[in-house]
């Protein structure tokens, strides 16, 4: 979703282990040869699938009791060994396994880690290996698909996705004299002025996950399209104006202190149903969480506040990728296809995993009506910049944004300082 499984310190460890011999980053070592796999061929043998599905939400049950057994029935004699690894442990597990040449065949990878894994040569580029890749790519919403892009290749496919929309408490808005939920950034600012020192919006952090929807919707961006530089983009007028708007709202006390992160203040998922925060911007997981803790509260949704750039939110989720180390790539590819099939996607949709496939939207919305708002937002949602340096880039951006919120730097100074640190990282590829 939005967790950072693989950090740049991992690259040094893997390089020390000699894994850069198959590096695909264009930095001197030659990429490993890619064999074109067949489609529809008889498959046999065994593969291992690593994932971080949650046992508590029914995801593992759907995988182990329905999806894998159905796949194995379609291919008698085939065995899929599923290994659940908690999010907090996945990073170290990948590092250790890669160094010891014991990676699995298939991984459900957090979208922000795919460029890192591709750069160090862990992955097989599916856009080259699967002859039917484009037919699968064409099914996907563009934002989730783009999370797989690095160095001109697509290394995986979106397995599940999510995005964020405005979720609001209608009664809290009306109690503050706001007749209807703000639809635009300008309406949000006007509502903040109208409530006069009361909260109009709550954000649970100040990282790219939280701030990029405002920057994009205002017409700004974090980097150029090729993710080569942030200069002129992150510190450009539209991006800086979006950050300044958030800073202004914070200074007017229209946004609570939880935007600075940490444990201070009421979390957004509690403040909304309690009526403290009239609006938040959050994902589909908010609904089952609130239904459990606040069964009498009925949250409502609206698209991300729009501006000169439209209504643009951020993509989350996981991709499905194949490792270079896999000894049974034909079976791995067939398993990937099945995980993207309507049967498997519907099974996961039943337990909260939203499909990234456009033609699955109607089926998803029939499972949970609130999925509809997020599926509509996915038409314009964008991924965070796909770079192996993402963990450090996001950390720099977050710290500089916090300095602006704290009044230690102006919005322009903060973004200028961020660009000065981010551009050398992006230049590393």
Q: 411-427 as b/e, with b when 16 or more CB fall inside 10 Å?
A: bbebbbbbbebbbebbe
Cα(59)–Cα(216) distance, integer angstroms? 32
* pLDDT bracket for residue 18 (50, 70, 90): very low
What CATH code is assigned to 8-161+317-377? 3.40.190.10
Closest CA to 221 of 286, 119, 309: 309
State the CB neighbour count (10 A cutoff) for residue 102: 10
Q: What is the mean pLDDT of residues 143-147?
A: 97
Residue ranges, comma separated, of all CATH 3.40.190.10 domains in the chain are 8-161+317-377, 165-314+389-426
More confident residue, 155 or 18: 155
**Two tokens, residue 405:** 């919120």
- Per DSSP bridges, beta strands 79-84 and 46-51 are parallel
Note whether 274 and 246 are within 8 A (CB). no
Partnered with residue 35 across adjacent β-strands are none
Note whether 278 and 194 are within 8 A (CB). no
Q: What is the mean pLDDT of residues 38-66?
A: 89
Note whether 221 and 231 are within 8 A (CB). no
Give the model's pLDDT for residue 38. 63
How far are the Cα atoms of 263, 266, 270, 272, 355 from residue 204, in angstroms, in the given order? 10, 9, 11, 12, 25
SS3 readout for the chain: CCCCCCCHHHHHHHHHCCHHHHCCCCCCCCCCCCCCCCCCCCCCCEEEEEECCCCCCCHHHHHHHHHHHHHHHHCCCCEEEEEECCHHHHHHHHHHHHHCCCCCCEEEEEHHHHHHHHHCCCEECHHHHCCCHHHHHCCECHHHHHCCEECCEECEEEEEEECCEEEECHHHHHHCCCCCCCCEHHHHHHHHHHHCCCCCCECCCCCHHHHHHHHHHCCCCCCCCCCCCCCCCCCCHHHHHHHHHHHHHHHCCCCCHHHHCCCCCCCHHHHHHHCCCCEEEECCCHHHHHHHHCCCCCCEEECCCEECCECCCECEEEEEEEECCCCCHHHHHHHHHHHCCHHHHHHHHCCCCECCEHHHHHHHHHHCCCHHHHHHHCCCCECCCCCCCHHHHHHHHHHHHHHHHCCCCCHHHHHHHHHHHHHHHHCCC
CATH class of 165-314+389-426: alpha beta
For residue range 147-206, what is the model confidence (pLDDT) as tens digits?
A: 999 999 999 999 999 999 999 999 999 999 999 999 999 999 999 999 988 999 999 999
- Per DSSP bridges, beta strands 316-323 and 123-124 are antiparallel
Least confident among 22-31, 203-212, 366-375:
22-31
Claim: this prediction has a pTM higher than 0.85: yes
For residue range 289-324, what is the model confidence (pLDDT) as tens digits?
A: 999 999 999 999 999 999 999 999 999 999 999 999
For residue range 106-131, what is the model confidence (pLDDT) as tens digits?
A: 999 999 999 999 998 889 999 999 99
């Amino acid at each position: 979703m939005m967790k950072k499984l693989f950090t740049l310190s991992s690259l040094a460890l893997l390089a020390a282990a000699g894994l850069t011999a198959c590096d695909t980053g264009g930095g001197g070592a030659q990429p490993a040869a890619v064999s074109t796999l067949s489609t529809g061929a008889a498959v046999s043998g065994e593969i291992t699938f690593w994932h971080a599905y949650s046992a508590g939400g029914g995801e593992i049950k759907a995988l182990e009791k329905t999806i894998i057994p159905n796949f194995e029935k379609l291919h008698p004699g085939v065995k899929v060994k599923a290994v659940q690894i908690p999010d907090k442990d996945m990073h170290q597990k990948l590092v250790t396994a890669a160094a010891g040449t014991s990676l699995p065949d298939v991984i459900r990878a957090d979208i922000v880690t795919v460029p890192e894994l591709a750069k160090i040569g862990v992955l097989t580029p599916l856009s080259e290996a699967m002859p039917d890749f484009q037919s699968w790519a064409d099914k996907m919403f563009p934002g989730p698909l783009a999370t797989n892009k690095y160095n001109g290749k697509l290394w995986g496919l979106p397995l599940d996705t999510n995005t964020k929309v405005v979720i609001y408490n209608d009664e809290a808005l009306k109690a503050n004299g706001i007749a209807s939920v703000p639809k635009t950034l300008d309406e949000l600012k006007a509502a903040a002025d109208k409530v006069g020192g009361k909260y109009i919006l709550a954000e649970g952090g100040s990282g790219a996950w939280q701030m990029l929807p405002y920057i994009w919707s205002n017409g700004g961006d974090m980097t150029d399209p090729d993710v080569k530089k942030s200069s002129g983009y992150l510190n450009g007028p539209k991006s800086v104006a979006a950050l300044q708007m958030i800073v202004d709202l914070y200074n007017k006390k229209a946004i609570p202190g939880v935007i600075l992160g940490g444990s201070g203040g009421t979390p957004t998922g509690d403040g909304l149903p309690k009526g403290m925060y009239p609006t938040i911007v959050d994902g589909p997981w908010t609904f089952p969480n609130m239904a459990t803790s606040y069964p009498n509260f009925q949250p409502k949704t609206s698209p991300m506040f729009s501006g000169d750039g439209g209504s643009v939110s951020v993509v989350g989720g996981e991709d499905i990728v194949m490792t270079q180390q896999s000894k049974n790539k034909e079976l791995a590819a067939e398993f990937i296809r099945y995980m993207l099939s309507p049967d498997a996607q519907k099974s996961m949709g039943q337990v909260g995993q939203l499909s990234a496939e456009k033609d699955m939207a109607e089926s998803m919305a029939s499972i949970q009506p609130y999925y509809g708002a997020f599926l509509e937002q996915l038409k314009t949602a964008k991924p965070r910049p796909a770079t192996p340096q993402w963990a450090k880039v996001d950390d720099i951006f977050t710290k500089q944004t916090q300095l602006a919120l704290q009044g230690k730097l102006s919005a322009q100074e903060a973004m200028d300082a961020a660009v000065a640190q981010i551009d050398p990282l992006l230049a590393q590829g």
